[in-house]
Structure 1
Amino acid sequence: MCTSLTLQTLNDHVLLARTMDFPVKAAWKPVLINQPRYETALSGFRPIRYPYIGGGRIEGDHQILVADGVNTQGLSCAELMFPLKAHYQDEPTTDKLNLTPQDFLPWVLAEHASISAVKADLANIALIGKYWLAGDEVFAFHWILTDKTGRTLIVEPTKNGLEVIADSIGVLTNSPTYPEHMARLAKSFHTSEKPAALIQRATQIVMGQQFPAATNTPTTRFQVTAINKLGAQPSPNQFEARNRLFSDLDTVAIPFKPSMNDHPNFNYTHYIAILDVTDQSYYFRYHDSTQVLSFSLADELSRHAGKNLFLA
């Protein structure tokens, strides 16, 4: 379970924000990916043209699984769970680059400079439902991307293939599909799905403080986040936007409870992250802390040449 959204400020900073909701066994940390190449499960090693910073954890003995990141070109990507809806090919194909679901985000960030480049390259890959380099699970993912242009891209692997949504409102949670979320949002608003109608209704809700309760379901988290994004005034700068994004995501975060230790499959919000694609900076806050850790990708690259390492 996760929630994410994109935001553009009046001073032209573009941000991607997300909650990382995962079972208690996971230990997520800020991570720098700056080695010359990365390993895929089915297609060997690939070059890292654009190092990146994000949130990750160790899978198995030493493999780093990254869930979100921003690269040196200002392209960002976050993966979110997509249960029951994700559909992958059963076997590798001979005429495309074969990737497991966990390989998709490294492929995006390490090898592409923009959303346009990713879109142009999607036809050359096949997502295969096989195990990654570590672990024994085929994760059901979909992805949200943004870059310096402020455009948002959503990629969903369905029975129809890789579906690309280029005209989204910049909000994503978990299943169902993005089009199904939008249909439910418009129904709850009693409007069409046209942006002007959604913004008008969201603004009315914000002004009247008529927010729906943010229960732990993807549908309500999508609706609450959409209202907060569409119904508020534009943020003047990146500083106000970061405060706003942390506040908005706090409303849909899943708090940790000690009793969850007895239920290893229960999800809670491990961290909230904000990725500023304009200046390639990363802001990370653990679930049990009010301290925001901040990292400049350029600074970390200068300190840690040719290395992958956790930063906290």
Structure 2
Amino acid sequence: MCTCITLESRDFYFGRNLDLEYTFGDTVVVTQGRYPFSFRLAGRMERHYALIGMADVRDGYPLYAEAVNEKGLGMAGLYFPGNACYQSVQTAGGPAFSGQDADGPAQSRVAPFELIPWLLGQAASVDEAAALLAGAQIVDIPFSEQLPNAPLHWMVADRRRCLTVEAVREGLKIYDNPFGVLTNNPPFPFHLMHTSQYLHLTSEAPANRFSKRLDLQPFGQGMGAMGLPGDASPASRFVRAAFLKENSACSGEEMDSVTQFFHILEQVAMLRGAVKTGAGRYDHTTYACCVNASRGVYYCRTYEDARIQAAALEDGDREGGALRCFPVSRTGEAVKLPCETA
């Protein structure tokens, strides 16, 4: 359960809520441009674009939940149970390395946990990412026996374009995403159709379409959006996030844009206790993030600490060969207000 959105302001912003019954990562990680990625089947990447995002670092490898690269391209993985279908190594075809060979375009075989660094490491735009994905296969190779693959689909976005990427039984599907929003099940074509049921929603006062004879008037503010779904289901969160994003108004200043982004995510966040899993645990928004993709600044808030925390690509030095980690706070505290004489 997660919600990912983009926001066009003076700069371009990309981010998400991560909704789980447990915490993930707790560390903002800058992967420097000369950190070597060794992919299971897709070769080795010695030099790549620098990345910043939330990751769980295992055995020196950053398992990114989402990230943005130095060119302003963002990508996030979201839970997609029952629909995600990765190819087995035995059935996946094509040469092991990306690029061009004598027989035509090669196919890159990439494990799900590798997809974010593999794509963001070499694509500077959504157009370039789409070209790489057109020759890719998502192969069911887990990171380890203790860490099996999660069923995921992905959103990829820059300032000009947004894609939804879904590895399903029929193959790898790549959809243009005009909303700049993604949640979870069902597959993306459903969300395209389902949102059309809410054409009547408006941020303005509603017009009387009930009857030309009856003089009906709204009796309160916000009645133009009556019917906007408020539950925590993926379909409802998709509609709610898309409506709020499309009707967002902010000045364009950095912190106004960042706080506006978090306010949108708050409206689709999960309160601990409101959604109980089949295992008897509670889904909740473990963290929310907003990345200024234009400047490489990563902002986040955790469930336990509502203060905005920040790290930047420049803090980690783009050109090095290491992982730079910035642990996030999960211990909130009240800030005492200063006293002034009236």
Amino acid at match of 2:285: T
Alignment match of 2:320 (pick from 296, 299, 305): 305
Is residue 21 of structure 1 aligned with residue 24 of structure 2? no
What is the CA deviation profile of residues 41-75 of structure 1, one whole-angstrom value per residue up to 9, with x for unaligned ones? Answer: 3334323410111001134x554211111111111
Find the residue that maps to 2:146 and give its secondary structure.
coil
1:180-229 deviation digits (Å, cap 9, x = unpaired): 01211212x1x4xxxxxxxx734348663536353221111111111101
RMSD between aligned alpha carbons?
A: 2.8
Q: Counterpart of 2:24 in structure 1: which amino acid? A: A
Show the counterpart of 2:55: 56
Structure 1 contact 15–275 (Cα < 8 Å) conserved: yes
Range with bigger deviation, 68-77 or 16-25: 16-25
Matched, 1:66 2:47: no
> Does 1:31 find its partner at 2:22?
no
Out of 127, 140, 156, the residue aligned to residue 166 of structure 2 is 156
Q: How does 1:231-310 map to 2 (within 5 A)?
A: 231-233=247-249, 236-256=252-272, 266-301=282-317, 305-310=320-325
Aligned to 1:194: none
2:80 equivalent among 82, 90, 109: 82
Partner letter of residue 77 of structure 1? M
Q: 2: distance between equivalents of 1:135 and 1:6?
A: 33
Please tell me the residue identity of whatever aligns with 1:181.
Answer: H
CA distance in structure 1 between the aligned counterparts of 2:54 and 2:24, rounded to whole angstroms: 12
In 1, the alpha carbon distance for the partners of 2:79 and 2:283 equals 12
* Structure ranking higher in helix proportion: 1
Give the letter for the 1:183 counterpart. Answer: M
2:232 alignment partner, SS class? coil
Task: Decide which structure has the larger Cα Rg and report it.
Answer: 2
1:219 to 215, 235, 238: 235
Q: How many equivalent pairs are there?
A: 297
Please give the per-residue CA displacement for 1:223-278, whole angstroms capped at 9, x wherever unaligned. Answer: 11111012334653443221111111112212345x98xx6854321110011111
User: Helix, strand or coil: the match of 1:139?
Assistant: coil
Q: Do 1:47 and 1:110's aligned partners in 2 also have CA atoms closer than 8 Å?
A: no
Give, as a single letter, the amino acid of the residue that structure 2 aligns with 1:154. Answer: T
Give the corresponding residue for 1:129. Answer: 140
User: Which TM-score applies when normalising by structure 1?
Assistant: 0.85
Matched residue SS, 2:317 = helix
1:3 partner letter: T
Q: Which residue does 2:3 correspond to in 1? A: 3
Query: Structure 2: which amino acid aligns with 1:56?
Result: A
Supply the distance in 1 between the matched residues of 2:226 and 2:252 (Cα, whole angstroms): 25
Q: Deviations over 1:21-56 (max 9, x none)?
A: 123153432111124311323334323410111001
Inter-partner Cα distance in structure 2 for 1:114 and 1:207: 40
Does the Cα contact within 8 Å between 1:14 and 1:150 map onto a contact in 2?
Answer: no
Identity of matched residues, %: 25
Q: Distance in 2 between the 1:54 and 1:237 partners?
A: 22
